[in-house]
Structure 1
């Protein structure tokens, strides 16, 4: 298609050159009525083919760079600028109308429309900025600072659509995405890190707990082993040893199955090795001391006269 457009553009340029007609000079003094009509038509076709050729090169560039979907906002903007430039060129060079006053009047109208559509324009320009920055592309799994996350399924002038883990489509205005911090969980790869905190009774040796937890992670089929999973002994007190497990899954969809498998393996290995879990910190009850018990014991009221 681009080759055909280039051929038509070259043919129109050759025809205008042979006829002695310049597409960017308004001069019909030497032509008759029919000649003026043909000259205007030829110039309009030349400008149209120029626009189509430029747009064709833009499509080829985006396709070769494998960015036809995520860059469509920028593509639409450039196409609009090209058509606007061609329209002004046709008005000025073909019909001889003054373009300056038209641009000035259009500027006033644009200011009025911009004031009336501030929020919409903020979404539009935020979408352009996100497309230029390539913070994410179609198919990436992203997470916002407020906890909203999902896979990018569509981007347009006003919003970005995410498919959440619950298979719901979350529509986010582009201005919201531009203002919040966005974490792209698909870069550098699709793997996701998960952390799981458990509490083991403090009667067991920390080294034994670490070995058992590491064996659990190495025996889990739902996680990736490169980089290897990590067991971190965070804190210890008279009640419990707090252990945090770090492991990665191949994609966001595997987070819940992997976590379920890890919890099941923790239960089995703890029972097999005689390891008992500790009570949650929130469920511990502080018992009063001996002195506090004595003060808290209700005294019998004397039956004597008041």
Structure 2
């Protein structure tokens, strides 16, 4: 009997020690925690065998003789078995790579394990008739089910969504009612959607399960966009499509594989109807990409003499002007060039008359890396790409410029400028700029401010904003180079 009690006492000691070690391990070490649980559970099982205690059988005589020791030993053994089982379940779910979306299933399995252990303790430790208990609990469950039917609907809808996996945490979804955003959390009752309006939408799982949804993140977050456009039919449709393809290829904020397209939709006497189709890297980039596409379509159309058509039914604003009163291509270009926006009409006209025309075929190098350009070059049409070795830095559109570092600072160019398509451009010699700076010295600072603004808008250019001290030094350098006061 003494040996028998010794094994029971050892069993109780192991159970208490296992609880202490279980808490000391903490949640941050699930593998170590599971190993400790298995080790203590195995040691307790061995002690049960040597003590000749059957945890799956209620023995009233045995409980009366040994009292608290047997009861506590059985309770501790069942508790450790529950923890070891739960440790296996949680470790499997983590190793399966689904810790977030499997949280509901994990909580459900844990609840079932604890419920099974509780019923086992009541039956095999205290001798409670489980049949009667289950019958009583069934009535209680019916009452609770009727009272909590909405909550239970959310719970089971959450389980169904988890098993079906129409989305995972982090996916961007669009619901049938127009709600869209990124899934940031999901629990037993609700799913949390963070929208592009910077709002958090809490949607009951039962409501979400009844709606149709589009998962924008599957198979990836590339998002197709369409933009209708109408052009006055003064040019051949093929020419218009080529210009719009150049505008799309000029965009840095869209996906170029698969390539964007411009397709004809219709033609009438008032307009050539087209549709631009392109992809963005994710739903959050839609507004940025759309703004860039619209801006570049306007630039390329303006540079190539294309006019945007008015909506049907809009009144005509006067008669068409004579051809000889229309501005030339270089005048239209300089009017829309951001760098020259601070000049007066007379100053832009002076540069237009002094500019020399040039062109380059696709693939030709306009300015090599490390070269000092002798002209300030404005792109007239086509697409120019800036390259750093084999890496593309950014793409330039009509109205953008090349050679400013060489002309204004007398320093070699950082990047190679290559023609991605056939490119036309206009070159302005240093003497023409020197004359402008000598007549109005503040043009140098205006040029510098606009250059810095253009650089910061090129997200992939990697050129930082110039500090006030560096700006002052640069202005002095420009004025010194051009002999201005």
Normalising by structure 2, what TM-score?
A: 0.57
In structure 1, C-alpha distance between the alignment counterparts of 2:315 and 2:273, rounded to whole Å: 15
In structure 1, C-alpha distance between the alignment counterparts of 2:101 and 2:119, rounded to whole Å: 29
Q: Is residue 125 from structure 1 mapped to residue 156 from structure 2 by the alignment?
A: yes
Match of 1:100 in 2: 131
Q: What is the deviation of 1:284?
A: 7.0
In structure 1, C-alpha distance between the alignment counterparts of 2:177 and 2:234, rounded to whole Å: 40
Match of 1:186 in 2: 217
The correspondence of residues 269-284 of structure 1 with structure 2, limited to 5 A, is 269-281=300-312, 283=314
SS at match of 1:170: strand
Q: What is the deviation of 1:164?
A: 0.7
Q: Is residue 16 from structure 1 mapped to residue 16 from structure 2 by the alignment?
A: no
Match of 1:253 in 2: 284
Match of 2:117 in 1: 86
Q: Contact (CA 8 Å) 1:234, 1:242: kept in 2 or not? A: yes
Q: What is the deviation of 1:8?
A: 1.1
Per-residue Cα deviation, 1:44-71 (whole angstroms, up to 9, x for no partner)? 1111111111110111111111111121
Q: 1:281 to 1:50 in 2, by over 3 A?
A: farther
In structure 2, C-alpha distance between the alignment counterparts of 1:84 and 1:282, rounded to whole Å: 73
The correspondence of residues 38-77 of structure 1 with structure 2, limited to 5 A, is 38-77=69-108
Q: Is residue 109 from structure 1 mapped to residue 129 from structure 2 by the alignment?
A: no
In structure 2, C-alpha distance between the alignment counterparts of 1:247 and 1:224, rounded to whole Å: 7
| Most deviating of 183-192 and 85-94 | 183-192
Match of 1:163 in 2: 194
Per-residue Cα deviation, 1:245-278 (whole angstroms, up to 9, x for no partner)? 1111112221111110000001111111111111
In structure 1, C-alpha distance between the alignment counterparts of 2:61 and 2:276, rounded to whole Å: 85
Q: Contact (CA 8 Å) 1:28, 1:36: kept in 2 or not? A: no
SS at match of 2:79: helix
Match of 1:231 among 262, 265, 271: 262
**What is the number of equivalent residue pairs in this alignment?**
284
| Most deviating of 12-21 and 188-197 | 188-197
Match of 1:175 in 2: 206
In structure 2, C-alpha distance between the alignment counterparts of 1:112 and 1:129, rounded to whole Å: 24
Match of 1:7 among 28, 39, 54: 39
Q: 1:31 to 1:174 in 2, by over 3 A?
A: closer
Unaligned runs of 5+ in 2: 1-32, 317-485
Specify which structure has the bigger relative contact order, considering alpha-carbon pairs within 8 angstroms and separated by 6 or more residues: 1
In structure 2, C-alpha distance between the alignment counterparts of 1:32 and 1:129, rounded to whole Å: 48
In structure 2, C-alpha distance between the alignment counterparts of 1:231 and 1:156, rounded to whole Å: 45
Match of 1:26 in 2: 58
In structure 2, C-alpha distance between the alignment counterparts of 1:179 and 1:281, rounded to whole Å: 41
Match of 1:219 among 244, 250, 253: 250
In structure 1, C-alpha distance between the alignment counterparts of 2:63 and 2:112, rounded to whole Å: 32
Q: Contact (CA 8 Å) 2:63, 2:71: kept in 1 or not? A: no
Q: What is the deviation of 1:281?
A: 3.4
